[in-house]
Structure 1
Amino acid sequence: MQDFNLAALFMLGFLAGGHCLGMCGGIVAALSLQQRQARSHWLLMLAYNTGRLSSYSLVGALVGGIGGLGIASLNIAALQHLLYALANLLLIAMGLYLMGISAFITQIERLGKPLWRIVQPAMQKLLPVRSPWQGLLVGALWGWLPCGMVYTASLSALASGSAQQGALTMLAFGLGTLPNLLAMGAFAEALRSLSRQPLVRWTSGGLICALGLWRLAQVL
């Protein structure tokens, strides 16, 4: 079951490419402009994304550990199923957002804006990036960008019941986003235009909704 959950989170990250373009497009475009002026283009891209995935894994470990303590202390197995169900309801909400049917998920993203107001100035002080280590720090801060997809994956990590499984859950999600963000660095404008096509939005949104419904059916 855990292997299926990790595969599902990977697919969530991969299918959410259109949302990634909307949320991270500006950051990626700015970083890509710097990278094209540097010889170490792919080394910097690797550094950014390693930092980002590290932040996701840290979040997963924290919320997974908290969830595990809560589930163990309350001794309520139903709590884990409830958190898992909520995560998949959010997943369906994200699919509906990508399809242009509902903007509910944007309300969830507002919860992280206070923290981002603190993190963003620190990230901007590191720009322009001149070394992989600097890129690693930028990526680590970038990982705290308010994002409905990240919050959805975080709920799955919370329901995982342990810090280790929480970290693996968020890492699987982050690895799923990696192909889109690497491609975005090289073809940002073309991909942004493609992601706005109704067929692309409905296809990716529909698949995410189907994934959420399938996962939801496992606990009902």
Structure 2
Amino acid sequence: MDVAGDRRLLIHGFKSVDHGDDESRTFPASAPPLPPPTETSSPITSPPYWVQSHRRSASQVSVDSVLHGGITLHDNTTGYSDSNDACWARSVTIDEHAVVNGNRTGIGAFVVWNITIETLSGSKINLRKRYSEFDTLRRNLLMTFPLSEASMPPLPPKGVVSKFRPKFLDQRRIGLRYFLNCILLNPEFSSSPVMKDFLFT
């Protein structure tokens, strides 16, 4: 059947268009609707970063979105603060001791410890102290800071019989050095008048 010089035939759901020449084209009469893709029927899946909602990570948050005053930085390498002024000691060493005899019989003899304190500026303070002076320092610190007993290490135990034996003296030296290190590295203790009395009297 000719309509306006064109012949159109419906063959199995396809239209064949004949323009009167040797060329003929075949195309679907009507494309059937495609079913909506599902997770099982669709072989193509989206990348996970497409499916998930867009969220900025902590590293992507702009500086302007951070509340002012929320984060502060303090440079401890230059300048000084109150805590830096209080902590003035770098290390403590107790290398030697001397036994001071009371009399010819040895009654009243005691041990003096040679102490070297290195400051943050590089200078050194040399002290000679008895065990009893360490004991006085600790008691005065506890009276001045009664709530700081937990942060204050104990002194090495006292000895009566073996107080001049090398092994006992070496253990005492280690204990005294540890005690004094802890005290001087605590800004509250190291800047107190009690500590100054220990250093300069």
Please, what TM-score do these two structures have when normalized by structure 2? Answer: 0.23
Higher RCO, Cα 8 Å, sep 6+:
1
The structure whose Rg is larger is: 2
Please, what TM-score do these two structures have when normalized by structure 1? Answer: 0.21
